[in-house]
Structure 1
Amino acid sequence: MKLIRSELLKIRTTNTWWIFALISLPLWAITLLFNYFQSQVLLDPGSVGVPAEQQDAQFQAVADPINVAANLYTNGQFLGVLIVMLLGVIVVTNEFFHQTATTTFLTTPHRTAVVLGKLAAAAILGLIFWAVTTVLNLVFTPLILNGLGVSSHLDQGAVWQAIGLNGLAYLLWAIFGIGFGVLIRSQIGATVTAILTYLAGYIGAIIFLGTLAGQWGDWINNLQLVVPALASQLMTTGTDLPGNPPRWAGAAVMIGYALVTGTIGTLIMRRRDIS
């Protein structure tokens, strides 16, 4: 616990965390505005000229009020997990940037314990960001749904499952950030690599899988599980969607990635020359 408190203290005594916090709030608001208009289209597709013949099974599933509600209650995940991943990167790279890594490992020579402390601190930070956005979503989403003529759906287990799995996604992405920070010591290098990997992987996978699905069938969509950004979004769909892997599969893959990332990061930190 002392190591975790120490790592949290290091985070609190730098300006970076609150800069990210301030950035995340307007990003959350912009995402909520986008999801509001998207929800309007989904709940009343005829109002924007979407013909009935284009409303396939997957569109109808996404437009189910439960799934619309789940999407709004988990609003902000796409950019939110990117923020917590970058914070995870900084938890590690700050040690090298400020040249305090040697002092840290001399004070606590058991490197595994230090890495575990950083993993735990990053996970706590990720959960804090999730908790803040979740509270905001719980305040504004019922108002939006009421305005769209839909109940709050807070009595639906699927909605609370989506909220819980969203918290798991935040926690796991924070751990991924630790992994990036261990692999790439440079703070700028690790940050840029993490951003490019997340955004380019997400956009590239959507285009690539969409092209293949058009040629080979919807079963290709099952491959989205190998892309962490898509797997974490799959976790918060509310209910399982036609042509897509189940939510539990997305969660299982993300946990697997986190375990691998955490293990590799620990092994590298134990063997690498810190000085």
Structure 2
Amino acid sequence: MTGLMRAIGSEFVKVLSTKAWWLLGLILVAYVGLTAAGLAFFLSDLGAELGGMGAGDLDPVVTANLVYSSVTAVGLVIPLLFGALLATSEYRHRTLTPTVLAQPRRGIVLAAKAVEAAVVGALYGVFGLVGSVGLGAPVLLAVGEETALGEPDVLAVLLRTLVATALWSLLGLGLGALLTSQIAAIVIVLVFTQFVEPILRLVANVWEWSASLGRFLPGSATDALVGAGILSSLGALDETIPDSGVDALLWWQGGLVLAALAAALLVAASVTTLRRDVE
């Protein structure tokens, strides 16, 4: 236990001594905040009248949840990227050797990184909520909508957002530890989150059998865990988009799917790349 605590402390010192983690946080605040502000406007009655998403009749709690869940709708790339960089930076900057010399048990090193990834990932959830609530709620008020911040369902969405960002950071750590190449990890993270998965989720919704499988995609599982998401709510926002007829996972099932994916990547890395000799 003492070795693990020392390793965790060492990992936090390494990360907090750099600018990258908080620069990513600032980007997250701005990106999510602008997205939430835009959603708050277009999901309102005023936005619907001006050619928005036609969602002016949504329940205020549903509208608020969609706005505040911008963190997981567009911002998960940041904790995912952080987790990947946490693992691959050791190989890119050739710091893995002194890390292993300081703590020869690589399982402890990986466990320490996992703790750090989860904590910082949850912190990115806080950054994201600063953006989504900080900009989304004022816009909702400005267009005559309720912020619903006192509603239990909304508070649950905010809390589960922190769990989701922590799990996505662990996913990134597992991916980075498995690939070891920083460039490859960054490319895969960006391509998958921005293009591949959104397309897969939309295509999967066409048939019932594919929609059943699509529920287990990371983004779909995240929407289930959080309890809100733009892609998972397209049918409610636009009546021209057919409903697949497949029930979404329960929130805890979505969390288990993400946790299982992260665990699978970490286990795969521990039995492959982490067993190799270091230079």
Secondary structure of the structure 2 residue equivalent to 1:76: helix
Aligned amino acid, residue 245 of structure 1: A
Which of 259, 262, 268 aligns to 2:266? It is 262
2:63 matches 1:65: no
Alignment match, 2:95 = 100
Matched positions, count: 261
| 1:165–1:251 contact (8 Å) kept in structure 2 | no
**TM value normalised by structure 1:** 0.82
| 2:67–2:132 contact (8 Å) kept in structure 1 | yes
Q: By how many angstroms is 1:274 displaced?
A: 2.5
Cα deviations by residue, 1:223-250 (Å, 9 ceiling, x for unpaired): 3222112321333335997844144232
**Structure-1 separation of matches of 2:183 and 2:254:** 30
| 1:134–1:163 contact (8 Å) kept in structure 2 | yes
Alignment match, 2:37 = 33
1:220–1:32: structure 2 CA closer, same or farther, 3 Å change rule? same
2:241 matches 1:251: no
Cα deviations by residue, 1:57-112 (Å, 9 ceiling, x for unpaired): xx97xx32211111222323233211111111111111111111111111101111
Where do residues 1-275 of structure 1 align in structure 2 (5 Å cutoff)? 1-40=5-44, 45=48, 48=51, 63-210=58-205, 212-213=206-207, 217=208, 220-238=210-228, 243=245, 244-248=247-251, 249-275=253-279
Pick the structure with more helix per residue. Answer: 1
Secondary structure of the structure 1 residue equivalent to 2:144: coil
Secondary structure of the structure 1 residue equivalent to 2:277: coil
| 2:221–2:258 contact (8 Å) kept in structure 1 | yes
Q: Which moved more, 1:115-124 or 1:182-191?
A: 182-191
1:50–1:238: structure 2 CA closer, same or farther, 3 Å change rule? closer
**Structure-2 separation of matches of 1:22 and 1:156:** 28
1:273–1:99: structure 2 CA closer, same or farther, 3 Å change rule? same
Q: By how many angstroms is 1:184 displaced?
A: 1.2
**Structure-1 separation of matches of 2:87 and 2:49:** 50
Percent of aligned pairs sharing the same letter: 25
Aligned amino acid, residue 66 of structure 2: N
Aligned amino acid, residue 33 of structure 1: A
| 1:172–1:258 contact (8 Å) kept in structure 2 | yes
1:46–1:16: structure 2 CA closer, same or farther, 3 Å change rule? closer
1:49–1:170: structure 2 CA closer, same or farther, 3 Å change rule? closer
Q: By how many angstroms is 1:270 displaced?
A: 4.4
Alignment match, 2:237 = none
| 2:65–2:157 contact (8 Å) kept in structure 1 | yes
Aligned amino acid, residue 179 of structure 1: G
**Structure-2 separation of matches of 1:139 and 1:50:** 22
Cα deviations by residue, 1:99-158 (Å, 9 ceiling, x for unpaired): 111111111011111000011111111111111222343444432332333333223221
| 2:33–2:136 contact (8 Å) kept in structure 1 | no
Secondary structure of the structure 1 residue equivalent to 2:272: helix
**Structure-2 separation of matches of 1:72 and 1:207:** 20
**Structure-2 separation of matches of 1:49 and 1:227:** 28
Cα deviations by residue, 1:182-203 (Å, 9 ceiling, x for unpaired): 1111111111122222223322
Say what the alpha-carbon RMSD is for the aligned residues: 2.8
Secondary structure of the structure 1 residue equivalent to 2:44: helix
Query: Which structure 1 segments of 5+ residues have no match?
Result: none
